[in-house]
Amino acid sequence: MVLGALCKGFRRKKHYIFKMNGVSKDAPLGIQWLQKISGWLCPRLQINRLRWYQASVLGLTYITYMTYHLTRKPISVVKSVLHRNCSALVPPPGVPPGDDTWCDWPPFDTAEANALLGALDSAFLFSYAAAMFVSGLIAERVDLRYFLSLGMLVSAIFCYLFGVGYTAGIHSISYYLLVQAGAGIAQTTGWPGTVAVVGKWFGGKKGLIFGIWNSHTSLGNILGTLLAAAFVERDWSLSFIYPALAMGVAGGLVFLFLVPEPKGVGLVIPDRDAPSRQSRKPEDEEEPSQVIVGDQAASLRPNRHSANAPSPHPEEPSETTSLLRRGSSSSSSSTTASAVSLSRALRIPGVMEFSLSLFFAKLVSYTFLYWLPLYIATSTNLTPKQSGELSTVFDAGGVAGAIVAGVLADLTTCPGLVCLAFYALCAPALFAYQTYGAISYGVNVCLLVTTGVLVNGPYALITTAVSAELGTHSSLAGNSQALATVTAIIDGTGSVGAAIGPMLAGVVSSAGSWSHVFYMLIACNVFALLTLTRIVRSEILKLRQERRLASPRLVRIE
């Protein structure tokens, strides 16, 4: 009786509901198992398939990229035991007097240890930046479920291999550099793959969705820090092995349950702007868009004038046919759509501007990621552990900034203008944190949260909603096969800045002081703002035109 009541509770409107006992042969194995089990336990169970798949895609991709950052973070924690101040520790019997490197892990037991540790970061970041462009091109041409699950498995293996260096007693710097470079290449599968999957499942306004979804980066950093810190002093190999195990399990879930695009299960994203397009005049529809980032609701729908568009029908399609298109229609659309080349993706209006802007934005963000704990420790009286814990406040502010930026982009439909506002406020926030952050713990927290909001807000918006929007730009004639390529171009350019920023901060801080590092970050923030001037100008003109058309016209009565 309880089971029957539960089944009845899932009934909704007729057109949106589908019984779960109908198994789709094209769905992943895990989805087929769930459909069979639900059909056996509750044959009358009816759910909204579109919403159910969208929720599962958001959850799986969230876990996916969270584990990518989960395996990136241990190296920053383990650095503290690879090379540390051994004079503050009690040496075991047999250690010669005056040996200040007995607790270090060779080859990081020399005076050049900081340079070697910095080389590990550079090996990862530069290989990540270089491979990102190739990864995006590959992602457009393969099944994203296999692409992500295989990338997660390889990333987990490289994370595991770094930890094996402790258990196997490996002391070759070449080994650790190769492992870090391989991990950087494998990690490039994450961002273009996950953004492309989410972009194909969600049409319309995506700023809020992507803003909340983008918190996986900060959550992965926080969990990776806590998990690595739990084992770093006892057995630092476990700081890598357990994150690798978590990523392997997540990769298995992706392989079993992730549906990379709606047409794979016979679904089509409903066209939310159909009435507004029908009300336009024919001559208006023929004019090309003058907006740099096109209509956000144009994502994932075929162009009416393209070769892949269905022939017009005099009758209005029902809600069921707008959500479900089975058989030959889905297969034909998948075969006719072709992946977009790198050169064509670069010609999409706005790709170059947002890529250059992200170069400077990510440079600032990753400089904070790698150097903030050390800056807090040197500028305050906090211990290294307390400094590390305080640095997580920056990630918490980044979560809020991503959501705020996404909401504002949805409300204004002007992501370039939103980014410009964040950049304009970020420069004084950086100066204020460098000047007043060390006054007290409370002031440090407040300024650090504010800085995290303003630094990561535009960074998150560009890498998610803007990338997905440009990947389905109107200039592609309805072809959504540029999502991964555009995402890879934008994030790959930003990753070059992420690789240069921490390295440049180390040089500037050694040659000058931390104030010079902040001046460098402020200058980069200004450059990020200047790269968007053309887009902001176009968006302002668009807003003025919309306001002019919306204003009532006075009619003179004789």
What would the pLDDT profile of 107-117 be if each residue is shown by its tens digit? Answer: 888 877 777 88
Q: Is residue 321 part of a domain?
A: no
Nearest to 363 by CA among 351, 355, 352, 374: 355
- Asked if the structure places residue 86 within a domain, the reply is no
* Cα separation, 38 vs 116, whole angstroms: 55
Taking the C-alpha atoms of residue 478 and residue 133, their distance in angstroms, rounded to an integer, is: 23
Give the model confidence (pLDDT) of 24-34 as tens digits: 666 788 888 87
Query: Does the predicted TM-score (pTM) go above 0.85?
Result: no
pLDDT in tens, 46-55: 677 788 888 8
Is 238 in the same domain as 294?
no
- For residue 472, being part of any structural domain is answered with yes
Residues 237 and 295 in one domain: no
Whether residues 223 and 294 share a domain: the answer is: no
Q: Per the domain annotation, does 315 fall within a domain?
A: no
Q: Which residue has the tokens 């002031």?
A: 443
Q: Quick one: angle between helices 415-436 and 351-379, nearest 10?
A: 20
Give the range among 233-242, 372-381, 395-404 with minimum mean pLDDT: 372-381
Element (H, E) at 223: helix 216-231
Which segment, 220-224, 288-292, 342-346, 484-488, is predicted with the most confidence on average?
Answer: 220-224
Residue with tokens 């930890």: 163
What pLDDT shows up at residue 318?
A: 40
In this structure, is residue 156 part of a structural domain?
yes
- Predicted confidence (pLDDT) per residue in 319-377, tens digit: 333 333 333 333 334 334 455 566 777 778 888 999 999 999 999 998 887 778 778 87
The answer to whether residues 233 and 296 belong to one domain is: no
Domain presence at residue 267: no
Nearest Cα neighbor of 61 from 202, 207, 205, 178 is 202
CATH of the domain at 126: 1.20.1250.20
Burial grade of 295 (CB within 10 A; 0-12, 13-18, 19 or more):
middle
Burial class (CB in 10 A: 0-12, 13-18, 19+), 539: buried
Q: Which residue has the tokens 């009786």?
A: 1
Return the amino acid letter for 18: F
Of 195-204, 289-298, 534-543, the one with minimum mean pLDDT is 289-298
Does 230 share its domain with 358? no
> What mean pLDDT do residues 36-43 have?
74
Containing structural domain, residue 479: 290-301+339-550
Query: Does 138 lie in the same domain as 70?
Result: yes
| Same domain for 39 and 177 | yes
Q: Is the pLDDT of residue 89 over 80?
A: no
Distance CA 367, CA 415 (A): 24
Q: Which of 458, 468, 476 is nearest to 202 (CA)?
A: 468
Residues 240 and 145 both lie in one domain: yes
Co-location of 379 and 465 in the same domain: yes
Counted domains in the chain: 2
Q: Are residues 374 and 225 in the same domain?
A: no
pLDDT for 9 equals 40
The tokens describing 444, both together, are 């440090």
The H or E element spanning position 132 is helix 113-139
Residue 71 pLDDT > 70: yes
CB within 8 Å of 123: residues ≥ 6 apart: 177, 180, 181, 184
Handedness of CA 273, 275, 280, 281 (dihedral sign): positive
Which tokens hold the place of 205? 């306004």
Question: Per-residue pLDDT for 10 more than 90?
Answer: no
For residues 257 and 344, state if they share a domain: no
Same domain flag for 536 and 474: yes
Q: Is 370 within a domain?
A: yes
Sole residue written with tokens 């939103």: 418
Runs of H (alpha helix) within 413-532: 415-436, 441-461, 467-470, 483-511, 514-530
Do the domain assignments include residue 203? Answer: no
